[in-house]
């Protein structure tokens, strides 16, 4: 009995681990989008990824013989669909036509704070003052870094990406709550199924309007978005929020800007500065502080 207690992993720690796997998958999203929209229409990239992922979701749900969710959960699934299947992919694809991936990365660093707020308002999680201090401190650090790296200038694409942040945060918070009822991977699969009939017509229209002639690199970026960014990464992400809590696990996403910056350097040749590394260290410290903070949770949806 003692040995089993010794080796038992704390649910919040396990949730953070799954959350990190999800964030690792999400971290390549902006570089992959940047590569894809260089040759492909942004509407096709932003919405087409969900169509392909929707086909994968239908296959998984059929093979595993998942029952239909109860009708009282379809409203929550629609919110998830609007936020993470429609809103964030389309808006971020449009913004990444003009923004460097590194700049976009620091803007989406606001998602963890926005998700924690959404979890408090909609998800009935009650983080402590210590948690809010750590979250706001980490998010403020990211925002100041974004302002300093862009000479204080705000572009239209920055504002579009901020709307995308809000959409993602609401979808993350609602999906994290719903994962407690349906299961993490089931949430994203059903959200993709809901989106499929909505998106297949505009995506088909876009295909006929624009020649889908692109480099192998652009297609590789699009394939990554379909399989990992829009599908598999959510399996780990929603499962992590289910067992670790939406507000707490969402703070792991503070690491995403810096992981994205590293991938942008490796894949796109974008620059990494000493300031990026310093800010990254501050963010990691804020995550560690937030991990120790108290959060009260309720699970009714």
pLDDT given at position 2: 45
Residue 5: inside a domain: no
pLDDT of residue 80: 93
Helix (H) or strand (E) holding 188: helix 184-209
- The answer to whether residue 241 sits within a structural domain is yes
Indicate whether 301 belongs to any domain: no
Cα–Cα distance measured from residue 284 to residue 111, given in angstroms and rounded to the nearest whole number: 15
Is 117 inside any structural domain? yes
Predicted pLDDT at 24: 92
Residue 222 lies in a domain: yes
**Both structure tokens of 4:** 């089993």
C-beta atoms surrounding 280 within 10 Å: 21
- DSSP letters, 142-187, are HHHHHHHHTTT---HHHHHHHHHHHHHHHHHHHHHHHHHHH-HHHH
Residue 197 lies in a domain: yes
pLDDT at 81: 93
Instruction: Bin 151: left if φ > 0, else alpha if -120 < ψ < 50, else beta.
Output: left
Q: Show pLDDT as tens, one digit a residue, over the chain (301 residues).
A: 444 444 456 777 888 899 999 999 988 988 898 889 889 988 898 889 999 999 999 999 999 999 999 989 999 999 999 999 988 888 887 887 777 776 777 677 778 777 777 777 765 667 777 777 877 887 777 777 766 766 556 667 778 888 888 898 888 888 888 888 898 899 999 999 999 999 999 999 988 887 778 899 999 999 999 999 999 998 999 889 888 887 778 878 878 877 887 887 787 776 777 777 777 777 777 767 766 665 555 544 4
What distances in angstroms separate CA 78 from CA 19, 58, 118, 187, 298, one per listed residue? 22, 16, 16, 10, 21
**What's the residue count for the chain?**
301
CA 10 to chain centre: 24
Cβ proximity of 87 and 164 under 8 Å: yes
Residue 46 contacts residue 90 (beta carbons within 8 Å): yes
Query: With contact defined as beta carbons under 8 Å apart, do 88 and 168 qualify?
Result: yes
Q: Please check whether residue 4 lies inside any domain of the structure.
A: no
Domain span at 144: 22-296
Rounded to whole angstroms, the Cα distance separating 118 from 40 reads 33
Domain count, the chain: 1
Residue 35 lies in a domain: yes
What's the pLDDT at 296?
56
CA distance 62 to 64: 5
């Amino acid at each position: 009995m003692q040995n089993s207690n010794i080796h038992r992993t704390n649910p919040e720690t396990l949730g953070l681990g799954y959350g990190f796997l999800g964030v690792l998958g999400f971290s390549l999203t902006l570089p992959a989008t940047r590569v894809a929209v260089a040759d492909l229409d942004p509407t096709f990239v932003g919405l087409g990824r969900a169509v392909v992922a929707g086909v994968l979701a239908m296959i998984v749900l059929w093979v595993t013989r998942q029952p239909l969710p109860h009708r009282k959960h379809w409203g929550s699934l629609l919110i998830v669909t609007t936020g993470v299947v429609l809103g964030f992919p389309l808006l971020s694809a449009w913004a990444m036509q003009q923004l460097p991936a590194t700049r976009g990365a620091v803007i989406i660093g606001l998602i963890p704070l926005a998700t924690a707020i959404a979890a408090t308002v909609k998800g009935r999680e009650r983080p402590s003052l210590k948690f809010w201090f750590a979250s706001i401190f980490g998010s403020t650090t990211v925002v100041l870094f974004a302002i300093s790296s862009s000479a204080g200038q705000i572009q239209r694409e920055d504002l579009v990406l901020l709307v995308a942040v809000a959409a993602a945060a609401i979808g993350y918070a609602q999906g994290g709550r719903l994962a407690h009822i349906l299961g993490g991977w089931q949430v994203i699969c059903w959200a993709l199924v809901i989106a499929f009939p909505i998106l297949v017509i505009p995506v088909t229209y876009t295909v006929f309007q624009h020649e889908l002639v692109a480099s192998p690199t652009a297609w590789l970026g699009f394939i990554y978005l379909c399989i990992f960014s829009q599908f598999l990464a959510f399996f780990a992400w929603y499962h992590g929020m289910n067992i670790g809590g939406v507000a707490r696990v969402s703070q792991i996403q503070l690491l995403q800007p810096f992981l994205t910056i590293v991938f942008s350097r490796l894949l796109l040749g974008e620059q990494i500065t000493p300031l990026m590394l310093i800010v990254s260290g501050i963010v990691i410290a804020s995550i560690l502080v937030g991990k120790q903070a108290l959060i009260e949770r309720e699970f009714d949806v």
